[in-house]
Amino acid sequence: MTLHPLTLWDLLLPKRLLKRKPSRRPTPKAKTAVNRETPMQLRYEEITRQMLAEHGVRVRKWRSSMSGVAWQVSYKDGTMSKLIESPRPRGPMSAAVFLHEIGHHAIGFGTYKPRCLEEYYAWKFSIEKMEELGLNVTDRVHKRMHESLEYALAKALRRGLKRVPGELMPYLPAGIVAAD
């Protein structure tokens, strides 16, 4: 039995806690460098690099959630940084959210007014780009797009939107009738 030197804290603890048991944690094994990436994972990585380069966008943070944000920063010297936070594309939903955020930069901020219309065109960009690249656009992706646009339109209406753009009519929240 090995005795460990006592500290001041040991004097304050009850005697039953003074008996230190050896750690039973297994020692970590060295990881081998085995490439287990599937062809689809490699495809998503390729698309990610391609889209970021094509649109001059930088990822500030890869999110663990299926949410994202896009913004740009203008500097005094006239340069501009295009930034996003999004999930890393690993499947249809994360790819759709990633491409939606890229879409904000592709279509240009402020190009479409009101803001809910910009959301529509960013989603349109995302879905069309997924189809163009041969990615699977699942029913869940379509449902996410619909719910996102329904939310954006409801928010705009709460904030006083007077006229609903024609593109957004299918996304009117249930129970709301558009006034002409």
- Average pLDDT for 56-74: 97
Residue 24: φ, ψ to 5°: -105, 15
Where in the chain are the domains? 39-171
Q: 46 falls in which pLDDT band (50, 70, 90)?
A: very high
At residue 36 the predicted structure's pLDDT band, cuts being 50, 70 and 90, is confident
State the pLDDT confidence band at 177, using cuts at 50, 70 and 90.
low
At residue 9, does pLDDT exceed 70? no
Distance of CA 71 to the CA centre of its chain: 13
Q: What is the mean pLDDT of the segment spanning 93-122?
A: 97
> Does pLDDT of 76 surpass 90?
yes
Tell me the two tokens of residue 160: 């006083």
Per-residue pLDDT at 21: 62
11: phi then psi, degrees, rounded to nearest 5: -70, -25
* Arithmetic mean of pLDDT, 121-128: 98
Half-sphere exposure of residue 66: CA atoms within 13 angstroms, side-chain side: 13
CA 23 from centroid of its chain's CA atoms: 39
Average pLDDT over residues 100-113: 96
Mean pLDDT, the chain, rounded, equals: 89
Range list of H helices, the chain: 8-12, 15-18, 39-55, 92-107, 115-132, 139-158
